[in-house]
Structure 1
Amino acid sequence: MDPRQIRPRRRWYGVAIGIAVLFTLIGIGGFVAGIVTATNSVPGFDGTYTGKQESSVQLEAGRKYAVYVPETAATDCTVDQRVTSTSPSTTFSFTRNGEQWVHVTNLSVGTTGAYTINCSAPTYAVGPAPELGQFAGGLGGGIAALMGLPCLGITIGGIIALITGLRRSSHKKRLLASSAPTW
């Protein structure tokens, strides 16, 4: 009997492998995209200032700002009375230029202008407030893509390969039975 007569064709095994490989590659791509999203959500600094002295910082109304200090530094900061200062609800730290920075306070102002800030840390930085939702979403989404999509692709590919094998076996038996001599 010619194996080419058996249905479904062997190419379905290739389709099963292709689906598993494709979903794995998409999962890896999703992980990379998630990590890039999380990395891009780490805030930049509008300015870095010498601590233990008052600094004039330009702040715009309507923007959310944050004060960052090196991780090992004291976190006592005083701000101009016209600035609304609140403590962050969660701890957020990140590495920039080989130094670990910590988010210590949030700032907002009603009017654009120059405001005075003084922190007891040797240096401090002012920049946009961190986008924690974007950071967590990028990281979580990337991990979910890395874990979920390859598993889904392998499952779908496995089911296709299993059904193909069972149907080929059944068809082969029917072909052999129909070609067997009847006595």
Structure 2
Amino acid sequence: MSVPYPPAQGPYGPAPIHIDPQELRPGRVWYIVGALVLVCAFVTALVGFVFSMFSTVALPDFEARANAGEEVVFTVDETDFQLGLYASPTGDQGMCSLVLPDGTEERFGWPGYSHYVEVGGERWELVGSRGIGEAGEYTLTCEAEPGVDTFAVADIGDGGAGFARGLLSSFLWALGAPLLGMAIGLPILIVTGTRRSRHKRRLMTERRQWPHGGPHPA
């Protein structure tokens, strides 16, 4: 038969029980893991949002550029995309026409969405678009007062749908990554704190009963 030692006594009653945090399980490293998951999620969200938004609203590379009253010839190698017409600083789609590879002349239509960018001291605004269905040489002709307006054309993908997808992608980065990080990181922090607290209470209970670390031999 064995009996426990009596609780250790201090001058004012039972001595306080000290639990070294390093004894508790799971280890504190899991707090670091949970915190890193949250930090990485928010950093990823910020980087993804900025990159996606910049890619969506940035000025596309121009296929050709012409001053008002000029015409410029350019070659298209791919098909099935929207050719956007940009104007700087002002203008509209009615000022320009596009000569197709077969020699026919077509006007630009309304682009379906608004897009303007200020870069290098210039302000460019999307004022028209037209679908490209065949490869070959195209000629851009713009009628306006020379020296006032400048026009340029660029590949804008599938137009408004692609622009909307880009904006949606930006907001998915901004919302999705933090939510995923919280779904993983917060449970790690909560479970770690809960289990360490339970472990501490269990150790304190044991040491109140066996303050010298084990049963007294009979």
TM range (shorter): 0.7 to 0.9
User: What are the ranges of 5 or more consecutive residues in structure 1 without an aligned counterpart?
Assistant: none
Aligned to 1:174: 202
Shift of the 9–70 alpha-carbon distance from structure 1 to 2, 3 Å rule, reads same
Partner of 2:186: 158
SS of 2:62's equivalent in the other structure is: coil
Deviations 1:22-66 (A, max 9, x none): 2122222212331342255x3222333232x35253454754433
CA deviations on 1:114-166 (whole Å, 9 max, x unpaired) are: 64623326323232232345544444323432343234324532322222111
Give the direction of change, closer, same or farther, for the CA distance of 1:23–1:78 in structure 2 (3 Å limit).
closer
% same residue: 24
Asked if 2 retains the 8 angstrom alpha-carbon contact of 1:67 and 1:127, the reply is yes
* Greater helix share, structure number: 1
2:88 aligned with 1:70, yes or no? yes
Quote the Cα distance in structure 1 between the aligned partners of 2:142 and 2:206.
92
Q: Give the one of 5, 21, 24 matched to 1:3.
A: 21
**2:203 maps to amino acid:** L
CA distance in 1, matches of 2:125, 2:164: 17
1:29-178 correspondence runs (5 A): 29-39=47-57, 42-51=59-68, 53=69, 55-60=71-76, 63=79, 64-73=82-91, 75-79=93-97, 80=99, 82-87=104-109, 88-107=111-130, 108=132, 112-113=136-137, 115=139, 117-120=141-144, 122-131=148-157, 132=159, 133-178=161-206
Inter-partner Cα distance in structure 1 for 2:181 and 2:135: 54
Question: Please, what is the CA RMSD of the aligned residues?
Answer: 3.1
Deviation string 1:53-89 (CA, Å, 9 cap, x unpaired) is: 3525345475443332224335532535713334122
**CA separation of 1:74 and 1:20: change in aligned 2, threshold 3 A:** closer
Q: Which residue of 1 aligns with 2:15?
A: none
Find out whether 1:21 has 2:39 as its counterpart: yes
Q: What amino acid is the match of 1:90?
A: Y
> Contact 1:50–1:124 at 8 Å: present in 2 too?
yes
For residues 69 and 130 of structure 1, do their structure 2 counterparts lie closer, same or farther at Cα, with a shift above 3 Å needed?
A: same
- For residues 180 and 31 of structure 2, the distance between their equivalents in structure 1, rounded to whole angstroms, comes to 17
Check whether the contact 1:82–1:109 (CA below 8 A) recurs between aligned residues: no
> The residue matched to 2:38 in structure 1 has which SS?
helix
**TM-score of the two chains, using structure 2 as the length reference:** 0.65
Map of 2:214 onto structure 1: none
Change (3 A) 1:140 1:181: same
Asked whether the equivalents of residues 94 and 102 of structure 1 are also in contact (C-alpha less than 8 Å), the reply is yes
Does the CA-based 8 Å contact 2:25-2:195 persist in structure 1?
Answer: yes
Given that 2:57 and 2:117 are in contact with CA atoms closer than 8 Å, whether structure 1 keeps it comes out as no
Note if contact 1:20-1:157 (Cα within 8 Å) is conserved in structure 2: yes
